Structure 1
Amino acid sequence: MNIIVCIKQVPDSTRVKVDPKTGTLIRAGVPSILNPYDHYALEKALAIKAKTGAKVTVLSMGPAQAVAVLRLALALGADEGVLLSSRAFAGSDTWATSYALAMAIRKIGSFDMILCGQMAIDGDTAQTGPGIAFHLGIPQITFCESVDSDGSHAVVKKLIEGGHQILEADLPVLITMTMPVDYAPKYPSFMAAHKAQDKKTVTWTEKEIGADMHKLGLEGSPTRVSRIFPPAARQKGEMFNGSAEEMAAKFVEILKKESFIK
């Protein structure tokens, strides 16, 4: 069984800043992390690997520094890593990105399951995974909290409004994973990270995957963003201690001071 997990290196969401002149993210000096939704998807793929002996390949698109998230994935237990990196990919929206990733998956070859995070925390579009499924012409199941497989079928718990569904799908299938609210990502030990240095990683450009240049980058991106800006800063909240009666009295005092009540 072959599983491909699409992962992305993203800026730490608590430290993102926007250039007021260009409207683009300021990444200089901002620490990068493995997108948490992708981290969760990877852990689910590795759980299936432990059960079935599946091969897990991680795939990412980004600048050369994005190899760091591939290395992290390999240290966690993935078998191989592929990075798409070229100036031709710069400026790609979710449509162009999903096209490039789909072309890379075709080059990787045989696969039974593709796992993606629900969305990237620096975009929140939740479109790249479904786009990959469209380009590959395979079924997809989105917003899944859990996934399991015996090598011939996939069984997922899909979140829906007011509850969840248990769905089963034949392979191949693409699944996007959401995260439980209490999710805490796992990280490898020093020895695991050291041993992972011998695992295979490759970097491909648009030429290696046979991509159409007109479908990449800004030219291949139908999305046009007119403006991007950070949310307005809010005042920090105040913390109070005391009994319920004391807190209630303090709350009433604040409401009166702010003229919400008389």
Structure 2
Amino acid sequence: MRIAVLIKQVPNPDALAAVMSVDEAACRIKLPPGHPLVASPFDEQALEAALRIRDQLGTDVKITVITLGPESARTVIKQALALGADDGVHVLDPALDEADSHVTAHALAAAIRKLGAVDLVLAGRQAADWDAGVVGLGVAEILGLPAVSFASAIEAA
């Protein structure tokens, strides 16, 4: 079984409010240089679900984490590998750094297609930065896969 897990690097929510400011012209949150970035907690839950499936089914399950973002996003891949993921894919393209959810979903779907056959794609219910919750569903739509959102548990059958 091959599982792809989508994981996004976000500003550390525990330290965010005290250091952020708003760039009103660009309609974006500005963070000071060096602000800590972490994996979105909901995406960490998706990774945990993949690891539990592997625990249930045995070692014949391969888990690949996929992230899109700047060079600093490699950190979330390294963290996922340390937790037990088998490999990682980093979609690194400066043109995508400010991509909206639609473009992000297309880029991640293309990365999944390059992996070859996958049996399951897991994503957190939403990223902890913008809370839109549409990228995972968009990836499923683009790949022609069924989608379930807001699942509270998952088990291997």
TM-score (normalizing by structure 1): 0.55
User: Partners of 1:145 and 1:70 in 2: how far apart?
Assistant: 24
List alignment gaps of at least 5 residues for structure 1.
151-262
Moved over 3 A (4+): none
Higher Rg: 1
The corresponding residue for 2:130 is: 123
Q: Which residue of 2 aligns with 1:38?
A: 43
Aligned to 2:9: 9
Letter in 2 for 1:26: K
- Other-structure match for 2:90: 83
Q: CA deviation at 1:20?
A: 4.0
1:64 corresponds in structure 2 to 71
Whichever residue aligns with residue 100 of structure 2, its letter is D
Partner of 2:99 in structure 1? 92
Q: What one-letter code is carried by the residue in structure 1 that aligns with 2:81?
A: L
| Counterpart residue type for residue 6 of structure 1 | L
C-alpha distance in 2 between matches for 1:124 and 1:55: 28
- How far residue 21 of structure 1 moved from its aligned partner, in angstroms, is 4.4
Q: CA deviation at 1:22?
A: 3.3
Match of 1:29 in 2: 34
**Corresponding residue of 1:132:** 139
Q: For residues 134-158 of structure 1, what are the alpha-carbon distances to aligned partners after superposition, in whole Å with 9 as ceiling and x for unaligned? A: 10011011100110113xxxxxxxx
Distance 1:65 1:79 in 2: 20
Higher relative contact order (Cα pairs below 8 Å, separated by 6+ residues): 2
Distance between the aligned counterparts of 1:129 and 1:22, measured in 2? 25
List alignment gaps of at least 5 residues for structure 2: none
Query: Normalized per residue, which structure has more strand?
Result: 1
2: CA distance between counterparts of 1:80 and 1:107?
A: 14
CA distance in 1, matches of 2:6, 2:76: 11
How many angstroms does 1:19 deviate by?
2.6
Corresponding residue for 1:143?
150
RMSD: 1.2
Quote the offset at 1:13 in angstroms.
Answer: 2.2
